[in-house]
């Protein structure tokens, strides 16, 4: 493992190290004694880190230290909050997680153990999710007397549908890793302790794409999916024209036509 970076900029509850000569950043939620509960400091650290990733970083792997990915909102943060304070708190989470979803680089989340409440909201802001078989997903907000506040109401229904989210948050239903894979919470399901290796392997594939392709995929794809077909098709055509006019696209296509670029091959699921 490479040495930690950003030690001055990040709280101790967020650790970042570089792999592959600095092309891949591994970011860890690092409060295992509190099950990586997300407090204000940790959320601010996420916002800072994803607002300005290190130059040269092409993909991020996001994981949790200890037995769980994240227990969600640090409930000790919540005790006596007024409505305006609650609004500001939720907006701070929105800012941080938007930095991930619409940031500069693709993020692969590696999930294990509890992925609950705000921890699930964080996972949903990433682009690819790898779940170890220990992962379980819950929304205990109903039980705790609160509501999702980290973008879950906007992102989760797009992944699993309003009806499934309704069940999870109203009844406290917990999905295990297999169910999570079936309903689309995770893209990959792997054995215990295999998540990080799989996350890194996927991050390497992503980092090998052209930067402009990755930019269009991150920025345009979710927005096109959110608008009607007519504006969506125009947005797609514009994004396609910009991306394919890049020299990188031209040289990659020439390489394929010359027989020197890899063919499409099956990948392990
Ligand atoms: C916490 C938190 C937390 C653990 N805030 N301190 N989230 C929840 O409702 C989930 C609450 N947590 C749990 O259900 C369990 O802790 C877990 C299933 C995640 C893990 O269980 P376990 O047995 O491994 O750990 P533990 O013994 O319960 O917890 C270890 C310590 O972490 C303990 O503190 P300690 O001082 O007694 O050692 C716990 O109190 C502490 N801890 N989870 C604060 N969440 C933007 S809105 C989002 C809304 C939400 O996320 S609501 C859901 C909140």
Give DSSP secondary structure letters for the chain: -PPEE-TTTS-TTEEEEEEGGGTEEEEEE--GGGTT-B-HHHHHHHHHHHHSPPTT--EEEEEESSS-SB--B-GGGTTT--HHHHHHHHHHHHHHHHHHHTSSS-EEEEE-SEEETHHHHHHHHSSEEEEETT-EEE-THHHHT----SSHHHHHHHHH-HHHHHHHHHH---EEHHHHHHHTS-SEEE-TT-HHHHHHHHHHHHHTS-HHHHHHHHHHHHHHHHS-HHHHHHHHHHHHHHHHTSHHHHHHHHHHHTT-SPPP-----
Rounded distance, CA 19 to CA 54, Å? 12
Catalytic positions are: 121, 141
CA 34 to ligand 1 center in whole angstroms: 6
Nearest to 62 by CA among 28, 11, 38: 28
Choosing from 71, 119, 169 the residue with most ligand 1 atoms within 8 A of its CB, the one to mutate for a pocket test is 71
What pLDDT, on the 0 to 100 scale, is given for residue 267?
Answer: 77
Give the atom of ligand 1 at the shortest distance from the alpha carbon of 148: 47
Nearest to 69 by CA among 1, 134, 128, 148: 134
What pLDDT, on the 0 to 100 scale, is given for residue 53?
Answer: 73
Which residues, judged by CB distance below 6 Å to any ligand atom, belong to the binding site of ligand 1?
A: 34-35, 37, 67-68, 71-76, 93, 114, 116-118, 140-141, 144, 146, 148-150
pTM of the model: 0.96
Residue ID of nearest Cα to ligand 1 atom 25: 35
What pLDDT, on the 0 to 100 scale, is given for residue 82?
Answer: 92
pLDDT tens sequence for the chain (269 residues): 455 666 678 999 999 999 999 999 999 999 999 999 999 999 999 999 999 878 899 999 999 999 999 999 999 988 788 999 999 999 999 999 999 999 999 999 999 999 999 999 999 999 999 999 999 999 999 999 999 999 999 999 999 999 999 999 999 999 999 999 999 999 999 999 999 999 999 999 999 999 999 999 999 999 999 999 999 999 999 999 999 999 999 999 999 999 999 999 987 66
Residue ID of nearest Cα to ligand 1 atom 31: 34
Average per-residue pLDDT in the chain? Answer: 95
Residue ID of nearest Cα to ligand 1 atom 35: 34
Choosing from 13, 31, 32, 35 the residue with most ligand 1 atoms within 8 A of its CB, the one to mutate for a pocket test is 35
Residue ID of nearest Cα to ligand 1 atom 40: 34
Size of the chain, expressed as the number of residues it contains:
269
């Amino acid at each position: 493992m490479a040495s930690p970076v950003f030690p001055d900029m990040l709280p101790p509850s967020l650790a970042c190290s570089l792999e592959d000569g600095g092309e891949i950043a591994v970011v860890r939620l690092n409060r295992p004694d509190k099950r990586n509960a997300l407090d204000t400091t940790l959320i601010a650290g996420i916002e800072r880190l994803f607002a300005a990733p290190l130059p040269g970083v092409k993909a991020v792997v996001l994981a949790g230290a200890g037995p769980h990915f994240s227990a969600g909102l640090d409930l000790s943060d919540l005790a006596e909050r007024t409505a305006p304070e609650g609004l500001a708190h939720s907006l701070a989470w929105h800012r941080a997680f938007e930095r991930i979803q619409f940031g500069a680089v693709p993020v692969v989340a590696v999930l294990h153990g509890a992925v609950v409440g705000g921890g699930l909201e964080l996972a949903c802001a990433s682009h690819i999710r790898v779940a170890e078989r220990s992962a379980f997903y819950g929304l205990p907000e109903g039980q705790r007397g609160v509501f999702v506040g980290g973008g879950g109401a906007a992102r989760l229904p797009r992944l699993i549908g309003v009806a499934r989210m309704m069940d999870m948050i109203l009844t406290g239903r917990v999905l295990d890793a297999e169910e999570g894979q079936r309903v689309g919470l995770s893209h990959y399901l792997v054995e215990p302790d295999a998540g990080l290796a799989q996350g890194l392997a996927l991050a390497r594939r992503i980092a090998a794409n052209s930067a402009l392709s990755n930019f269009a995929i991150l920025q345009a794809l979710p927005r096109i999916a959110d608008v009607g077909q007519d504006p969506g098709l125009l947005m797609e055509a514009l994004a396609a024209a910009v991306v394919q006019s890049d020299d990188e696209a031209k040289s990659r296509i020439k390489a394929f036509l010359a027989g020197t670029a890899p063919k499409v091959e099956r990948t392990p699921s």
